Every structure is written in C-alpha cells, then in structure tokens.
Amino acid sequence: MLGLYYLEWIQEDMHSYKLYTHRSEIYVDIIILLDWDTTQKSLTSINGLYILKDLLENWDRGTVYKKIKILNGGYQEWLARYPAFATNPSVDETEVE
C-alpha cells in the first residue's frame, strides 16, 4: 500500500504532512540495504538488493536520497563482526521458498 493513500488524512495535520513530505531529506543521511549474505561478487542486476537500490534511486519520484549503500556480506557478515549489536547473534538463516 502506498503512503500516498494516507495523504488525505496527513494533510489535516501540517506537522505530520511536513514530516511525511520531507522525511528522507531531513532525517536520513544514509540508507543501508542488506539481506543475509550478498557480496560484491553476488551483486548482479538480478539480485534483489540491486533491484531495490535501483528502484529507490531511479523510480522514487520526488525523493532524493543522500546515500544508498549495500552492506557487503549482508547480515551474516554483520553478525560475525559486531555480535554485540544484535539482539540474537546466534540466529540462523531462514530458508525462503
């Protein structure tokens, strides 16, 4: 469901409307995309993260993102390097069909 669906109600409250329209420019410096284990080698034009990054950069009209990065190695690499920053560092990859 698109956020524009709620625009009618958000416009009634100018603070909420301003927050909605300027959400990325003011409050977000960088967007980090990650999955379980994508690396530079596996990042091809058919990879889901590549497609998502392309969508955000080229198809999200009216929104300019300062930086969009893909975490090399994904969440698996994050857990290996920074287990203290995860609520469950012993989590296993879930198989998706």
Calculate mean pLDDT across residues 27-49.
90
Q: What is the pTM of this model?
A: 0.67
Given this model, what pLDDT does residue 1 score? 46
How many CA within 13 A on the CB side of residue 46?
Answer: 0
Topology, domain 29-85:
Oxidized Rhodanese; domain 1 (3.40.250)
Over the stretch 1-11, which tens digit does the pLDDT of each residue have?
455 666 677 67
The Cα 89–Cα 14 span in angstroms is 41
How many CA within 13 A on the CB side of residue 90?
Answer: 0
Domain borders along the chain are: 29-85
